[in-house]
């Protein structure tokens, strides 16, 4: 097993990985940009090293800096997390040249499957159904001509993409040029690769993905599906397992297709094969994510497996200790992504200092996060704060637990999208499982009761004012306690109880 792992990422996924390392007795090494110096992953890691200014292209996307830290710290492995360089073949190649193990697929497997266009080519050779579109990166004039011949709407997608970055829905010829330019620019900023490809946009499809694991000894297994159809502008916001609409027969066919693709691509480690499923339950290959997914906890909850530990074990040369047929998912799991953004203000980012927070608990609740009270959320990266995951014996019980957990969750100083999830979990369409990839965008455009938004705004303002007053009171109490002369033990005890009472008040502010 490895002795020391460099985590080439930040935020909640860096925290998730280093916790797995600690349970395995492996030392963890964190990296951080200037604005992340006080981040939770830096605080929790065994070692931490600065790698540059806030812009990711000057820090987290710099392979030379990452490998320099890995060599200096004596790391024998690198875990990329998700995003940034996680699907860039140059990182595993650099690790190979430095004689450091990359916890993920080889550069060759990434190029065969992780490249969205190469993945489509492989799927077509294996006769796995694919969405109509280009098999190679395309330039703007050719893509525009093909869009006209196929008919709008179409999707522009980053070749090196993921997480909705570098993706644009184009509904008419007039908007094509600007959409192409914006998608290429976003792809370059997110992945260091501006190349795009084109797909025909399917009407009201469901986004369903298959989690796979493959070891270096020839065993490839499917861990079942996740439903990821609740998306805002192609960015997943709620995921669940299993899917409400997947039958045992469809699950078997999709899993077999995913395993065939992984075998053909020489894939080793954890990966996800994504599909679109139409209203007739026909499925179409979309892409392969050659990394750990943001939504991996829902699979962990229904299988009882730790995917990060399995990733590390596979990279260390261990065999998978189970076969596909032995995996029997139980119950239902659902995840919501809590972002520092304001849904009432067009989802505008909400960076700032976290004044207070209370995380939910109780039966079936899990919280994966990378924040703490007093930390300042930067405006330089994806605004994901935490992932709230609920598990239950049924989908209905899971939703009930998730509602209860969202009611318990409080954070002040910044705005979040927690209120949005409270609304979604009451929506009849969602409760019936009648969703698709544009469902949330359409639902958000529906008119709301005239008084709802102003009331919510007023409530938020009063909450923030109350929180600020309580914070000031706690601070003043701390100052008074520090400056006051020594008194009797009874008086000191009473003072501490009063301070704790004020802190408790602060924690209860929603």
pLDDT tens across 348-378, in order?
A: 999 999 999 999 999 999 999 999 999 999 9
Query: Which tens digit of pLDDT belongs to each residue from 25-69?
Result: 999 999 999 999 999 999 999 999 999 999 999 999 999 999 999
* The pLDDT of residue 137 is above 80: yes
What is the spatial distance between Cα 308 and Cα 312, in angstroms, rounded to a whole number?
A: 6
Please work out, in degrees rounded to the nearest 5, the angle formed at the alpha carbon of residue 10 by the alpha carbons of 69 and 18: 75
* The pLDDT of residue 259 is above 70: yes
* The pLDDT of residue 473 is above 90: no
- Gap between the terminal Cα atoms of the chain: 44
Query: Which tens digit of pLDDT belongs to each residue from 70-116?
Result: 999 999 999 999 999 999 999 999 999 999 999 999 999 999 998 87
Please work out, in degrees rounded to the nearest 5, the angle formed at the alpha carbon of residue 191 by the alpha carbons of 14 and 182: 130
pLDDT band at 500 (very low <50, low <70, confident <90, very high): very low
Q: What percent of the chain has pLDDT over 70?
A: 87
Q: What is the mean pLDDT of residues 480-493?
A: 39
The predicted pLDDT at position 314 comes to 98
Q: What is the mean pLDDT of residues 298-323?
A: 96
* The pLDDT of residue 508 is above 60: no
Query: Which tens digit of pLDDT belongs to each residue from 152-207?
Result: 989 898 888 766 788 998 999 999 999 999 999 999 888 888 999 898 888 899 99
Q: Are 225 and 254 in contact (CB under 8 A)?
A: yes
The predicted pLDDT at position 449 comes to 67
What is the spatial distance between Cα 442 and Cα 446, in angstroms, rounded to a whole number?
A: 7
* The pLDDT of residue 474 is above 80: no
What is the spatial distance between Cα 201 and Cα 152, in angstroms, rounded to a whole number?
A: 8
The predicted pLDDT at position 161 comes to 72
Q: Beta 4-7 vs 77-79: how paired, if at all?
A: parallel
Question: Environment class of residue 135 by beta-carbon count within 10 Å: exposed (0-12), middle (13-18) or buried (19+)?
Answer: middle
Q: Please name which of 328, 295, 268, 265 lies closest in space to residue 128, comparing C-alpha atoms.
A: 265
Q: What is the mean pLDDT of residues 468-477?
A: 45
Edge-to-edge strand ranges of the sheet holding 47-52 = 47-52, 27-33, 4-7, 77-79, 101-102
Instruction: Rank 82-96, 106-120, 325-339, 454-468 by mean pLDDT and report only the highest.
Output: 82-96
Query: Annotated catalytic sites, by residue?
Result: 291
pLDDT band at 131 (very low <50, low <70, confident <90, very high): confident
Q: Please name which of 343, 327, 365 lies closest in space to residue 445, comparing C-alpha atoms.
A: 343
Q: What percent of the chain has pLDDT over 90?
A: 75
Across the chain, what does the average pLDDT equal?
Answer: 89
Query: Which tens digit of pLDDT belongs to each residue from 404-441?
Result: 999 999 999 999 999 999 999 999 999 999 999 999 99
Instruction: Specify whether the backbone of 136 is left (phi greater than 0), alpha (psi in -120 to 50) or beta.
Output: beta
Q: Are 8 and 78 in contact (CB under 8 A)?
A: yes
Tokens, residue 53? 């200014």
Element (H, E) at 158: strand 154-158
* The pLDDT of residue 454 is above 80: no
What is the spatial distance between Cα 250 and Cα 284, in angstroms, rounded to a whole number?
A: 12
Positive or negative: CA dihedral 106, 111, 115, 118: negative
DSSP assignment, residue 136? Answer: S
* Residues making up the chain, counted from first to last: 510
The predicted pLDDT at position 468 comes to 43
DSSP string for 185-253: HHHHHHHS---EEEEEPPSS-EEEEEEEEE-TTS-EEEEEEEEEEEEETTEEEEEEES-SS--HHHHHH
The predicted pLDDT at position 130 comes to 92
Half-sphere exposure (Cβ direction) of 30: Cα atoms closer than 13 Å:
27
Instruction: Specify whether the backbone of 234 is left (phi greater than 0), alpha (psi in -120 to 50) or beta.
Output: left
The predicted pLDDT at position 480 comes to 44
What is the spatial distance between Cα 88 and Cα 81, in angstroms, rounded to a whole number?
A: 12
Q: Are 387 and 336 in contact (CB under 8 A)?
A: yes
Q: Please name which of 205, 252, 232 lies closest in space to residue 436, comparing C-alpha atoms.
A: 205
Helices (H), 304-394: 307-315
Identify which has the larger pLDDT, 484 or 131: 131
The predicted pLDDT at position 494 comes to 38
Please work out, in degrees rounded to the nearest 5, the angle formed at the alpha carbon of residue 77 by the alpha carbons of 73 and 80: 105
The predicted pLDDT at position 488 comes to 35
Tokens, residue 418? 């927690």
Residue written as token pair 């390392």: 21
What distances in angstroms separate CA 290 from CA 78, 86, 185, 266, 294, one per listed residue? 15, 8, 23, 12, 12
3-state secondary structure of 33: strand
pLDDT band at 347 (very low <50, low <70, confident <90, very high): very high
Q: Beta 235-241 vs 332-339: how paired, if at all?
A: antiparallel
* Cα Rg of the chain, angstroms: 24
The predicted pLDDT at position 165 comes to 84
Q: Are 194 and 216 in contact (CB under 8 A)?
A: no
């Amino acid at each position: 097993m490895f002795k020391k792992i460099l985590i080439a990422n930040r935020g909640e996924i860096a925290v998730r990985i280093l916790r797995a390392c600690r349970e395995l007795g492996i030392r963890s090494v964190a990296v951080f940009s200037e604005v992340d110096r006080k981040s939770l992953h830096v605080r929790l890691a065994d070692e931490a090293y600065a790698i540059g200014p806030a812009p990711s292209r000057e820090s987290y996307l710099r392979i030379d800096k990452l490998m320099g830290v890995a060599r200096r710290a004596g790391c024998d492995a690198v875990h990329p997390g998700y995003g940034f360089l996680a699907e860039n073949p140059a990182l595993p190649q650099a690790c190979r040249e430095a004689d450091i193990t990359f916890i993920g697929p080889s550069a060759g497997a990434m190029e065969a499957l992780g490249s969205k266009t190469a993945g489509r080519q492989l799927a077509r050779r294996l006769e796995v159904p694919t969405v109509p579109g280009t098999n190679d990166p395309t330039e703007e004039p050719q893509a525009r001509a093909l869009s006209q011949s196929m008919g709008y709407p179409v999707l522009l997608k980053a070749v090196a993409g993921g997480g909705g970055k570098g993706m644009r829905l184009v509904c008419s010829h007039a908007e094509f040029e600007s959409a192409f330019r914006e998608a290429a620019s976003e792809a370059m900023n997110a992945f260091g690769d501006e190349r795009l490809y084109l797909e025909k946009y399917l009407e009201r499809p469901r986004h369903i993905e298959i989690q796979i694991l493959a070891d270096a000894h020839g065993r490839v297994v499917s861990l079942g599906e996740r439903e990821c159809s609740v998306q805002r502008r192609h960015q997943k916001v709620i995921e669940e397992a299993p899917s409400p609409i997947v039958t045992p027969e469809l699950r078997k066919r999709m899993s077999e297709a995913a395993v065939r693709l992984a075998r053909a691509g020489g894939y080793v480690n954890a990966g996800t094969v994504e599909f679109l499923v139409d209203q007739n339950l026909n499925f179409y290959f979309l892409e392969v994510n050659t990394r750990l997914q943001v939504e991996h906890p829902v699979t962990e909850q229904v299988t009882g497996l730790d995917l990060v530990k399995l990733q590390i074990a596979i990279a260390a040369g261990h065999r998978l200790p189970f076969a596909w047929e032995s995996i029997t998912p139980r119950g239902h799991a659902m995840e919501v992504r809590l972002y520092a953004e304001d849904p009432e203000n067009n989802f505008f980012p909400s960076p700032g200092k976290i004044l207070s927070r209370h995380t939910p608990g109780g039966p079936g609740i899990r919280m994966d996060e990378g924040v703490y009270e007093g930390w300042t959320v930067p405006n330089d990266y994806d605004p994901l704060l935490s992932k709230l995951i609920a598990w239950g014996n049924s989908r209905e019980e899971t939703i009930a637990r998730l509602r209860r957990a969202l009611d318990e969750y409080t954070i002040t100083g910044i705005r979040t999208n927690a209120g949005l999830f409270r609304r979604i979990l009451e929506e009849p369409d969602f409760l019936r499982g009648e969703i698709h990839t544009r469902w949330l965008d359409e639902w958000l455009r529906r008119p709301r009761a005239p008084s709802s938004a102003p009331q919510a705004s007023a409530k938020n303002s009063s909450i923030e004012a109350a929180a600020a007053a309580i914070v000031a009171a706690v601070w003043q109490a701390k100052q008074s306690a520090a400056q006051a002369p020594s008194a009797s033990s009874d008086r000191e005890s009473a003072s501490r109880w009063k301070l704790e009472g004020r802190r408790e008040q602060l924690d209860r502010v929603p």
